[in-house]
Amino acid sequence: MTNKELQTLGITDIMDGTSTGDNWFAQGERVTSTSPVDGRAIAQVVSTTKKDYETVLKTAEQAKKKWAEIPAPKRGEIVRQFGEQLRELKPILGKLVSYEMGKSYQEGMGEVQEMIDICDFAVGQSRQLYGATIHSERPLHRMYEQYHPIGIVAIISAFNFPVAVWSWNAALALVCGDVIIWKASEKTPCCAIACQKILAKVLQKNQLPEGISSLITGDATVGRWLAEDVRIPLVSATGSTRMGRQVATTVANRLGRSLLELGGNNAIIVTPDADLKMTIIGAVFGAVGTAGQRCTSTRRLIVHEDVYEQVKIALSQAYKQIKIGDPLNSKNHMGPLIDHQAVRTYQEALANIKDQGGSFLVSGSVLKGHGYESGCYVEPVIAEVENHWEIVQRETFAPILYLIKYSGDITQAIALQNAVPQGLSSAIMTTNLREAEVFLSQNGSDCGIANVNIGTSGAEIGGAFGGEKETGGGRESGSDSWKAYMRRQTNTINYSTSLPLAQGITFDF
């Protein structure tokens, strides 16, 4: 990525990592953002200190009242303008996402498109923040519900989707009348700074106050400040289950709200009636896309014994065609893992698979030599395992696909799929209508997302995104997810000349 392209997004050699609108400052230590693509430093980012943090909170509190008083459709207009800026900068911002995170350029562009899509969705939603009218049991009374802005929303995002997941929260929170504070991943700070600068220019152009959108950077300590802060009614956190537990416990201790989107251990069930061509495409993209670093990545393939050998052969052939290398080269299917720690996790997982008795249909290792100098490139792996093994029960953020055989009917396959602690995304490949409906029934998949004849990755903006069990139970993006960013209020108006009480109670004196 060229310096000119970085400068277009406001990325320079050394950058402050704290912002309240268009005001940038930071006094903490410098953290270097290094690309896993080639191992080169992109920029140094100055981390947020506690003093910086207090400045951000003070500015956000000053902005929240004025922002909430602006009519929702007018707030939607600001989000629309932000979406237009993203359209103009999509090729360059998508390239930065690819270069700093390591996903393919197509996926980087797709992530920016998600931002544009959620802006479009939020603009429409700004005219549909509906309440409800409720019939009162008392004569000449009207009862209804309405929604008000919740205030300050903290957004903690993960490295694997360095801009899209923030935008899911930000676009909706903004049209709901909230101000936002973003704690981006310390592994992808440049993406966050670029997005904050784009939005800050829109806010400044419209003469809106600082603090409507703020950015803080740093490690888990900075995230802990948000979780502990009683001034922040809602903390939306995306990341590991371990992190989510810490956020949920801390926020609940002060009776705040948390919106959690955590780990996944996603499976595709392949029945005897599956279209195997579609199955292989869905499974390979799900397992290899983003080098297996999506929360919706396909981790497990639960295959009926009647088609098990066919699936193995087809997968082996497909994996031979996967090209690994610079994600900015459109000919490559898979880029690097995010950093050397992720590589060590990959290696440890392979050792655990072997120790627990697994066999490798497609083995893998860390790639070395020309083009792989960063040390973050690995080969995708397919392992034959048992579903109950410890290594299979936990999420490994790497391109490792587990093959699991089942022999009974669809209920056995569903039981295997559900027998993990996580509950994010799931899929079934079948042309059998009965199997599909059983999979989608109340006794079917226990995940927040359940797909038929598509893979586990690639959720659309229109539907609510999130999962159950250790995935955290939160919902972001589409449908009625906007309600998480508002406080609900029930109102009753008495337009009679008396004061009747509910439940027929009398109180005379």
Nearest to 307 by CA among 431, 425, 426, 451: 431
Domain that holds residue 103: 3-262+472-489
Clarify whether residues 447 and 482 are in a common domain: no
Token pair 């960013």: residue: 485
Shared-domain flag, residues 313 and 372: yes
- The 3-state DSSP composition of the chain as helix, strand, coil percent (nearest 5) reads 40, 20, 40
3-state secondary structure of 453: coil
- Domain at 323, CATH number: 3.40.309.10
Could you give the strand order of the β-sheet that contains 41-46, starting from the edge strand earlier in sequence?
A: 14-16, 41-46, 30-34
Residue from 111, 186, 261, 470 carrying the catalytic annotation:
261
261 labelled catalytic? yes
The closest of 265, 214, 172 to 21, measured between CA atoms, is 214
Alpha-carbon Rg for the chain in angstroms: 24
Per-residue confidence (pLDDT) for residue 509, from 0 to 100 = 82
CATH value at residue 218: 3.40.605.10
**345 within some domain:** yes
The answer to whether residues 192 and 330 belong to one domain is no
Amino acid 55 reads T
In the chain (509 residues long), the average pLDDT of successive 10-residue segments reads 94 96 95 97 97 98 97 98 98 98 97 98 98 96 98 98 98 98 98 98 97 97 98 97 97 98 97 98 97 98 98 98 97 97 98 97 97 97 98 98 97 98 98 98 98 94 97 97 98 96 88
Strand extents, DSSP E, 190-297: 213-216, 234-238, 257-261, 266-270
Q: Which two tokens stand for residue 88?
A: 């103009």
- In angstroms, rounded to a whole number, what is the distance separating the alpha carbons of residues 262 and 237? 8
Query: Is residue 367 domain-resident?
Result: yes
pTM over 0.85: yes
What's the pLDDT at 459? Answer: 86
**Tally of structural domains, the chain:** 2
Residue 4, CA atoms < 13 Å, CB-side half-sphere: 0
pLDDT value, residue 170: 98
Q: What is the Cα–Cα distance from 157 to 169, expressed in whole angstroms?
A: 10
Asked, for residue 274, whether it belongs to a domain, the answer is yes
Contacts of residue 82, Cβ cutoff 8 Å, sequence gap at least 6? 119, 171, 198, 199, 202
Same domain, 430 and 445: yes
Three-class DSSP labels, 356-423: CCCEEEECCCECCCCCCCCCCCECCEEEECCCCCHHHHCCCCCCEEEEEEECCCHHHHHHHHHCCCEE
Q: Do residues 421 and 273 share a domain?
A: yes
Instruction: Please tell me the predicted confidence (pLDDT) of residue 508.
Output: 83
Same domain, 294 and 150: no
Same domain, 258 and 325: no
194 and 335 share one domain: no
